[in-house]
Amino acid sequence: MSTNDSTNDSTNDSTNDSTNDSAAAKATAEADTPAVFLVSGASRGLGREIVKAALEAGHQVVAGVRRTAALDDLAAEYGDRLVAVALDVTDDEAARAAVRTAVDRFGRLDVLVNNAGYANIGSVEDVGFDDFRTQVDTNFLGVVRLTQAALPVMREQRSGHVVQVSSVGGRMATPGLSAYQSAKWAVGGFSSVLAGEVGPLGIKVTVLEPGGMRTDWAGSSMRVDPIRPEYAGTVGAMAAMHSPESTAASDPAKVARLVLDVVALDEPPLRLLVGPDAYAYATAAGRALLAEDERWRDLSRSTAADDATPEQLDPLGHAQ
């Protein structure tokens, strides 16, 4: 608000107080307005915990599941604030239909949580190509499908938050998880590009990168393919993680609450490691990658043309 030069200090103070009160009231009203969530992979594990946490916080949720009956207990408790929809993230029309349900039932879509995913263990040599393709389709292309379906709504709103439940495996390489981790690396790259495109439109993007959680991800949900003796020391080590959920570091209920904390931030992180093990693994992998880059720095730079300009030799202006 602007005031003319003749406005006295008293009027300025009154105007400022009124403006501040109005802004505070608006912020309070916005905070009290339920957000609309769409969560994929919501029948169990982390997805279900996110649905529960959002409902407990007073929000409205469209929960994507294979069988809608899986959420009958939550539907009975929370009534019409929860809508369970059959959602196969490898199905284009199912992705679009889930977004339409959010808009038709609740009038908008504020938070998309791409959570659906799974992994099987096997060597690159032995993993079936159909299995590899299905893992990538679910863990990466499913993210793309739902994100593309949600973006027109969020773009029109000029607001929204896309939350990708990725993995610390998107920052490291573990023998035996080639399909899964390839997809998670792709999610990180895709989301970084997405953030640059939609940030000016008021849409936020966050990639959550958890380590181990106390769900059945590494238990009954994971298949271990036969391992050749030659890969016993590499792929076999990963297969040893096919273990009870109680051995994992993070509590999925706490991770779900973290999701709500992140979407409440005005400036959320683009990528967030989740769990003490995730932080340890990812930072170690990052240091190792940087060390390798530095080790081979001169060889990397040896391809410069003889007439390369200083700007071409150092486009960021900080080479040593």
pLDDT of residue 244: 54
The secondary structure of residue 66, as a DSSP letter, is S
Q: Model-level pTM?
A: 0.85
Query: What stretches in the chain show pLDDT beneath 70?
Result: 1-32, 214-221, 241-248, 318-320
pLDDT of residue 27: 37
40 is annotated as an active-site residue: no
Cβ burial, residue 292 (10 Å; 0-12/13-18/19+): exposed
Concatenating the DSSP letter of every residue in 205-220 gives EEEEEE--BSSSTTTT
26 is annotated as an active-site residue: no
**Strand, helix or coil for residue 22:** helix
Token duo for residue 38: 């769409």
Question: Of these residues, 40, 43, 123, 166, which one is catalytic?
Answer: 166
pLDDT of residue 30: 42
Fold of the domain built from segment(s) 32-300:
Rossmann fold (3.40.50)
166 is annotated as an active-site residue: yes
Question: Of these residues, 182, 184, 204, 250, which one is catalytic?
Answer: 184
Domain coordinates in residue numbering, the chain: 32-300
pLDDT of residue 31: 46
